[in-house]
Structure 1
């Protein structure tokens, strides 16, 4: 498996610290974020500094996470997309993760398709892939990969866009279909709280994967690998319990070992 790390795991670390931790764990691929206060990109760190820090640590920035809400197309969204895409190109990132409106409001399909059409030339100009991530929450405006793929086809974006298979959102969205040939990235996280109902699961419940996982992560990972997916599996736990860990590297090693041994068994 190609394990990768998303900076949401340890938001208190600087980018340089995060990159160094990733490399120490054998993860040479990382995701950085534009939605965390006090860290690059939000603090105005020049993209060249991010690029140099990644090169020094020996890691590749696979994504900036995320362009939001990509399916509500407007002049402002076009400007923000252009700014983020240029930053991604300059810092060496390979792709932008793209998330739909997630505020309990419906978004017409025409707006979804318009967003994909509008974003495509911006990504192409900057040599980036768009990684479209459905959010399985019941209040999300785009819950399934099937819906995303249909809109991508209508927008003529099969070359520019790929899917994010998020094991958490796959479970919440009640999806059964896997699209390994259209998947460019897999986000992995677990839910171990035995009390929370599936429909009530939120980002705050997302922890590192262990034997108490309720999302069938191991089964999802096995299915993707067996079907030919060869891309990265990126840890993306949002729980404050994980983010506050004094030694996140040790916890990540434990989760990596659990996943690896489970796949072998």
Structure 2
């Protein structure tokens, strides 16, 4: 049985309260909230109150996103990370999301790995102090300085960060990075979205192409989930669709239920 979750990006026009209500309605195990949407985190509620609302509805606050460009470490980045970590801790979240730089800089072999280790080494005690996990999400874009899960895991192991840092296995980014090995023991959460546009090449796929997972999906979501589960991974599968078409759905609950059924039927 798959543990489904809902990332706020999928229903970006919804309020935090409506996100919670929808996740409960759909039988999700939890939600992920974001600081890159037009509305404030928790609809402007205090983090502790926002987290309490999540738990009162039988849900987990899986992650607060995101620390951007975390592998471009600086004093400003440290301050941003600490601020988000404190919000996550106050809300009773399980993790904060760490998103790498995606500007075609810091791309050199050796440079990438060194920058990653600097950031992870600095973040590790901050996360330990607040009893949080850092969810690291490699982005499959060719302009990203952290494309590959293997490189990410090497960095985590190098700083003694196993368990304190976990991978986000994003099915979209896994495809864009041309697959590669799975790391079930390091994976904390899976992000799912689908691409149904038949014209766009894999290297040209971008966030606006990301819709819900349907039978027309080109990303191999079902195969990826099956492979992770076969390797022993157990955890939440969270919908993260960026498409404006999905954001504009009049009845997102029905569309999400249909997608959940499509995924679950294969993994029954």
Shorter-chain TM band: over 0.9
What's the TM-score once normalised by structure 2's chain length? 0.95
Hey, what does 2:66 align to over in structure 1? 66
Number of residue equivalences: 263
Q: 1:220 aligns with which of 218, 221, 224?
A: 224
Q: 1:176 aligns with which of 172, 176, 180?
A: 180
Q: How many angstroms does 1:169 deviate by?
A: 0.4
Hey, what does 1:95 align to over in structure 2? 95
Q: Secondary structure at the match of 1:191?
A: coil
Hey, what does 1:261 align to over in structure 2? 265
Distance 1:21 1:44, change over 3 A: closer
Question: What is the root-mean-square deviation of aligned Cα atoms in Å?
Answer: 1.2
Say if 1:206 and 1:238, in contact at 8 Å, map to a contact too: yes
**2:216, 2:163 → 1: CA distance?**
38
Q: How many angstroms does 1:44 deviate by?
A: 4.5
Say if 2:163 and 2:186, in contact at 8 Å, map to a contact too: no
Say if 1:16 and 1:57, in contact at 8 Å, map to a contact too: no
- The reply on whether 1:22 has 2:33 as its aligned counterpart is no
**1:234, 1:224 → 2: CA distance?**
14
What's the TM-score once normalised by structure 1's chain length? 0.96
| Off by >4 Å, runs of 4+ in structure 1 | none
Q: Secondary structure at the match of 2:223?
A: helix
**1:168, 1:134 → 2: CA distance?**
11
Q: How many angstroms does 1:97 deviate by?
A: 1.3
**1:222, 1:31 → 2: CA distance?**
23
Hey, what does 1:165 align to over in structure 2? 169
Say if 1:163 and 1:182, in contact at 8 Å, map to a contact too: yes
Say if 1:14 and 1:39, in contact at 8 Å, map to a contact too: no
**2:168, 2:122 → 1: CA distance?**
20
Where in structure 2 are there 5+ consecutive unaligned residues?
Answer: none
Q: Secondary structure at the match of 2:41?
A: coil
